[in-house]
Amino acid sequence: MKSDSTDLFGERPPARTVPVMVPVPTPAPYSYAVPEGMAVEPGSIVKVPLGPRFVAGVVWDGGDDGKVERKKLRPIDTVFDCPPLSKEMREFLDWVAGYTLTPPGLVVRMALRAPAAFDPEPMVEGLRPTGHRPERMTPARERVLALTEDGLPWTRSGLAHAAGTSSSVIDGLLAQGSFETVFLPPPPVVAAPDPDHAAPRLEGPQTETAAALVEGVRAGRFGVSLLEGITGSGKTEVYFEAIAETLRAGRQVLILLPEIALTASFLERFQDRFGAKPAEWHSDLAPRTREKVWRQVTTGQVRVVAGARSALFLPFENLGLIVVDEEHDPAYKQEDRVFYNARDMAVVRARIGDFPAVLVSATPSVESRVNADLGRYRKLHLPTRYGDAALPDLHLVDMRRHPPARGGFLSPVLLRGIAKTIEKEEQALLFLNRRGYAPLTLCRVCGHRFQCPQCSSWLVEHRFRGQIQCHHCGYAERTPEACPECGTFDHLAACGPGVERIAEEVERHFPDARTIVLSSDLMGVKRLRLELEAIARGEADIVIGTQLVAKGHNFPLMSLVGVVDADLGLANGDPRAAERTFQLLYQVTGRAGRSGLKSHGLIQTYQPLHPVMQAIVSGDPEAFYEREIGEREKALLPPFGRLASVIVSADSRAEAEAHARGLRQAAPRVEGISVLGPAEAPLAMIRGRHRFRLLVHGRRGSDMQAFIRTMLANGPKERASLQVQLDIDPQSFL
């Protein structure tokens, strides 16, 4: 019997081939030859040649279709020394690709986003004391040997540093035989969390709720819980108990957080309970750390990951629980390349892995509420704040009856509130979800409005920077002094307020107060963290902030929250406008009153009778949800879309119209095709090369997928430039 792969005449026996999912947008895996003697299995991470380069791919399931010409076949280069992707993970990636209509290779790519992590981390060189005394003793040598009396190994630089010597002292001791070189396993990125490190501090309804979650973990089966409770009701402590139980069962945990909520204070709370921090996973992780975390997640060394949405694609060794905190947060939606909602994909991941998922929010998404009402999710409710935290006293300020002074945006009612607050040496927070100085600039002489040359939305003046900017595509120019249309100087008028303009008004009224503006464009993440800490220490009197002040951070001295324009965001065409506004107002007014201070909220609105405003002041979220769910059902919006509705959006409204016409022709039976202009389209679309996208709402997701596939097949020219997003219908994925 021959064992050679080649016989005497150079004839090759047919090579074994396997499907390999490569990180490119092909509809199916590619076939590769397996070299003689190479062991691969489904899930193996392999290095394969692809065109002119090498890429990392994953050996996929099923046999090879054998349709590739022999001469095209190329061999797998190497198999990485790395645990293969589990069957579960492969199934999950396939499922996500199918559901989001993304080529599977691009979904797989998300699971391999740690370039150099596929080979084991190198062993670290260490020094172990032998107990042998050197012939000559010096003070430096004494110090080193004193540190190593316990016999444990050290790294060379660590030991030199700890003993306050240079590494040449260590080298001398090594040469004398006082140390021997050993190889140590690479250090873990985080210490192992201990489920019993600190006793949980639970009271009242927290106890039962935690017990319910723990019971779910013990059962070890798929199930979704929606943990709902107002700010300060102790939701985190409650789901920490589910995490503890999962750790006791020896399984890994994933905590998803919106990127902005992944703060030092969250990590510290975790550490207080479990004695160690979770591993972090987010976009601005240092590459080296990123690789270590990825590696140690696949090997199971990392037990808990706290991460942004992309952490969902980490190949865990033995995942046993996913917690989605702030589950309503729009940041869970990715609308770039692969379109998905991490909240819903987390539920799918849990279903495939047959373990529990916990969705957590003070203001759940309407979708999750509907799923809970239908009994798909188990509803867990924490009704009260604990400790001495009281809910703020909320009032609407009817702007028709209490209008601001000419040229201002703050009503006398709110100004009086601020004055009283700072008199008491407490803090006031003014919330306005609009960056910059003014959202629109026009010429008082000819009426010219400054518009973005790239995408035609209004240009926003940023006075601190002396620029006018487009918030959709990032276009910016210096603020001109003259009207570009009629050439008149000094007649440009700023229309409407942004945070910078509110700051100006506040400084006019309270020149002696310490005022600070918090806006994502004015500072990086680090600066922001420092500012937030300074504010918490009481180093500001009046804080003016955009959306970012609504999240997570606690301000113990904050006793007044003023909402400058509560109506903002209700008027755009977003089907979730009311829901978003409700969530935002609820969360931002909840920032006050966390430490027993008597606190107030003043909400400026021109629509005091609007259901969102009524729900906010009545402190009755139930009424809001009930009404909103009814409205959605009537309007056939998510999560109740019964008609197929397709939204086409492009670089210009005219272009979107043209695409929509084509679509109506291609699919005459599809109802509800509507068109969005660029202002409503996300940043990613305009920046990217893709010309338009479809948003699909459908009760029967599979029907919609079939329709889109047909459409793609009919329009070869459009195929290359098409992006599809399924807006999740919760009934189609469970």
Partner DNA sequence: AGCACGCCGACT
Partner DNA sequence: GTCGGCGTGCTC
Residues in the site for DNA, rule: CB under 7 A? 23-26, 30-33, 49-53, 68, 72-74, 106, 337, 689, 717, 720
Beta strands at 440-443 and 459-462: parallel, antiparallel or unpaired: unpaired
Q: Could you give phi then psi for residue 680, rounded to 5 degrees?
A: -90, -15
**Which residue lies nearer to DNA by CB, 108 or 370?**
108
User: According to the annotation, is 446 in a ligand binding site?
Assistant: yes
User: According to the annotation, is 495 in a ligand binding site?
Assistant: no
**Which residue lies nearer to DNA by CB, 23 or 639?**
23
Sign of CA dihedral 65, 66, 72, 78: positive
Q: Please answer whether residues 686 and 651 qualify as being in contact, where contact means their C-beta atoms are separated by less than 8 angstroms.
A: yes
CB of 334 to DNA, least distance (A): 13
Residue 646 three-state SS:
strand
Structure tokens at 486: 């009629």
**Which residue lies nearer to DNA by CB, 406 or 689?**
689
Rounded to 5, what percent of the chain is helix, strand, coil? 35, 20, 45
From the number of C-beta atoms within 10 Å of its C-beta (0-12, 13-18, 19+), residue 612 rates as buried
Structure tokens at 280: 């972090």
Eight-class DSSP state of 444: T
**Which residue lies nearer to DNA by CB, 96 or 144?**
96
**Which residue lies nearer to DNA by CB, 393 or 718?**
718
Structure tokens at 693: 């996208």
Q: Could you give phi then psi for residue 56, rounded to 5 degrees?
A: -90, 130
CB of 70 to DNA, least distance (A): 10
Rounded to whole angstroms, how far apart are CA atoms 441 and 446?
Answer: 12
Rounded to whole angstroms, how far apart are CA atoms 367 and 638?
Answer: 7
From the number of C-beta atoms within 10 Å of its C-beta (0-12, 13-18, 19+), residue 53 rates as exposed
CB of 222 to DNA, least distance (A): 32
CB of 49 to DNA, least distance (A): 6
Letter for the amino acid at 623?
A
Beta strands at 304-307 and 319-325: parallel, antiparallel or unpaired: unpaired
**Which residue lies nearer to DNA by CB, 80 or 464?**
80
Could you tell me where the beta strands, DSSP code E, fall in 148-301?
179-184, 223-229, 252-256, 279-281
**Which residue lies nearer to DNA by CB, 174 or 684?**
684
Q: How many beta carbons lie within 10 A of that of residue 129, not counting itself? A: 20
**Which residue lies nearer to DNA by CB, 73 or 147?**
73
CB of 315 to DNA, least distance (A): 19
CB of 67 to DNA, least distance (A): 8
CB of 68 to DNA, least distance (A): 4
CB of 72 to DNA, least distance (A): 5
User: According to the annotation, is 455 in a ligand binding site?
Assistant: yes
User: According to the annotation, is 452 in a ligand binding site?
Assistant: yes
Rounded to whole angstroms, how far apart are CA atoms 4 and 330?
Answer: 58
Annotation: binding site for Zn(2+): 443, 446, 452, 455, 470, 473, 483, 486
Annotation: binding site: 443, 446, 452, 455, 470, 473, 483, 486
